[in-house]
């Protein structure tokens, strides 16, 4: 394994376990150069003494494949309605396509990345979930919510100096394979690993207040303030912010939504704290006093 060039994390927030879970969203992944830059940045984090874990999305890539196959794409509350046929495509595109490419980009820099899915070694166990649309619960098929994470395999890889790259597919106790939103998968893994941070890279600057009417980014907010906002959030931002909330409530010190379209967003966000975006902190965090505390969206 390649020697690290530095052994100490550069920020106090990442000094305990050094684990940073980074969710790379499908919409921020559409550009090949960005994917390569992202991979190099993840290796840089490793060289800086941190222990990055990547959970990737691939929503647009799944939709493109469904389209090629003449299959319908439909979302409810930001979650893909997943038939058994859709599930086959989801599994194939995520673990056979998106993950493989990301592993390849990271491994261009050394023998770092190991790809796996939530199914492997029973890392993530899911139960079937529905979506809340207004006051109704809607059946969305084979979509899972993670109820248990066994982080042993991920920890083993980290202890051996690897960078795990995890696809958001999970097994149910019933043996069924479920499609899990990548933001929620990253959040559950971050909590189970005792990660210092969850970083979610997406295709907007952060959480906008009053989107789509305004694009004013909310820079900081507490878990309680975010909780109040969740019912008003739409489409892809809903699982993302729900994931951030679950993460900080589960002990992750901060959860950040950063603009993955900006080159080096993850490096600047984690090492220099200079990436613009939205940071969610726990209600009792030392950062609490600076956090946004309104519930307006
Ligand atoms: N309040 C909001 N602030 C920012 N973006 C929002 C908001 N509400 C909904 N969105 C939408 O959520 C999208 C990001 O979610 P998604 O498309 O699922 O991204 P990803 O592929 O990164 O998971 C944005 O491109 C935007 O269209
Ligand atoms: C249940 C559900 O919606 N699963 C997602 C999994 C991929 C994902 O989350 O990708 P992004 O992060 O790019 O959105 C999907 O099928 O699109």
pLDDT digits (tens, 9 = 90+) for 160-176: 999 999 999 999 999 99
| pLDDT given for residue 136 in this prediction | 92
Atom number of ligand 2 nearest to Cα 79: 3
Query: Which residue's C-alpha comes closest to atom 6 of ligand 2?
Result: 181
Residue ranges of domains in the chain:
12-290
Q: What is the dihedral of CA 47, 52, 58, 60, to 10 degrees?
A: -60
Atom number of ligand 1 nearest to Cα 182: 23
Checking phi first, is residue 199 left (phi over 0); if not, alpha (psi -120 to 50) or beta?
Answer: beta
Mean pLDDT in residue range 194-216: 93
Q: Which helix (H) or strand (E) segment is 258 a member of?
A: strand 254-259
| pLDDT given for residue 287 in this prediction | 57
Ligand nearest to the backbone CA of 59: 2
Mean pLDDT in residue range 241-254: 97
73-87 pLDDT tens trace = 999 988 999 999 999
Q: Is 12 exposed, middle or buried (0-12, 13-18, 19+ CB in 10 A)?
A: exposed
Q: Is the link from the previous residue into 234 a cis peptide, with omega within 30 of 0?
A: no
Whether 49 contacts 14, CB under 8 Å: no
ipTM over 0.95: yes
**Ligand 1 in reach of 236 Cβ (< 6 A):** yes
pTM, two decimals, is: 0.92
Interatomic CA distance for residues 13 and 273, integer angstroms: 11
Mean pLDDT in residue range 188-214: 94
If you ran DSSP here, which 8-state letter would residue 4 be given?
P
Query: Which residue's C-alpha comes closest to atom 23 of ligand 1?
Result: 25
Mean pLDDT in residue range 216-245: 93
| pLDDT given for residue 109 in this prediction | 98
Mean pLDDT in residue range 285-290: 56
Q: Which residues make beta-bridge pairs with 52?
A: 20
Ligand nearest to the backbone CA of 208: 1
97-141 pLDDT tens trace = 999 999 999 999 999 999 999 999 999 999 999 988 888 999 999
Q: Which helix (H) or strand (E) segment is 23 a member of?
A: strand 19-24
Mean pLDDT in residue range 6-18: 52
Query: How much distance in Å is there from the Cα of 183 to the middle of ligand 2?
Result: 8
Query: How much distance in Å is there from the Cα of 157 to the middle of ligand 2?
Result: 25
Q: Is 179 annotated as a binding residue?
A: yes
pLDDT at residue 292 greater than cutoff 80: no
Interatomic CA distance for residues 228 and 205, integer angstroms: 21
The architecture (CATH level 2) of 12-290 comes to 3-Layer(aba) Sandwich (3.40)
Ligand nearest to the backbone CA of 75: 2
Whether 23 contacts 57, CB under 8 Å: yes
β-pair type (169-172, 124-133): parallel
If you ran DSSP here, which 8-state letter would residue 105 be given?
H
Confidence of residue 272 (pLDDT cuts 50, 70, 90): confident
């Amino acid at each position: 394994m390649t020697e690290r060039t530095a052994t100490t994390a550069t920020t106090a927030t990442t000094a305990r376990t050094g684990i940073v879970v980074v969710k790379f969203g499908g919409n921020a992944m559409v550009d090949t150069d960005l994917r390569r830059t992202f991979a190099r940045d993840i290796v840089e984090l490793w060289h800086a003494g941190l222990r990055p874990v990547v959970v990737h999305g691939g929503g647009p890539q799944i939709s493109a494949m469904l389209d090629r196959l003449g299959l319908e794409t439909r979302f409810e509350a930001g979650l893909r309605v997943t038939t058994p046929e859709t599930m086959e495509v989801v599994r194939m595109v995520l673990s056979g396509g998106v993950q493989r490419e990301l592993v390849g980009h990271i491994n261009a820099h050394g023998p770092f990345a190991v790809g796996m899915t939530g199914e492997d070694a029973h890392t993530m166990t899911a139960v079937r979930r529905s979506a809340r649309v207004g006051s109704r619960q809607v059946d969305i098929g084979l979509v899972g919510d993670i109820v248990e994470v066994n982080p042993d395999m991920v920890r083993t890889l980290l202890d051996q100096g690897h960078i795990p790259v995890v696809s958001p597919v999970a097994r149910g106790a019933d043996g069924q394979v479920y499609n899990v939103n990548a933001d929620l998968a990253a959040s559950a893994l971050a909590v189970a690993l005792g990660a210092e941070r969850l970083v979610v890279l997406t295709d907007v600057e952060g959480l906008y207040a009053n989107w789509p009417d305004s694009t004013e980014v909310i820079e900081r907010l507490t878990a309680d303030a975010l909780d109040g906002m969740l019912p008003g959030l739409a489409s892809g931002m809903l699982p993302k912010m729900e994931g951030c909330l679950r993460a900080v409530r589960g002990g992750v010190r901060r959860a950040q939504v950063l603009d993955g379209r900006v080159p080096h967003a993850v490096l600047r966000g984690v090492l220099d704290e200079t990436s613009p975006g939205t940071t969610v902190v726990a209600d009792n965090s030392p950062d609490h006093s600076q956090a946004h505390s309104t519930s307006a969206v």
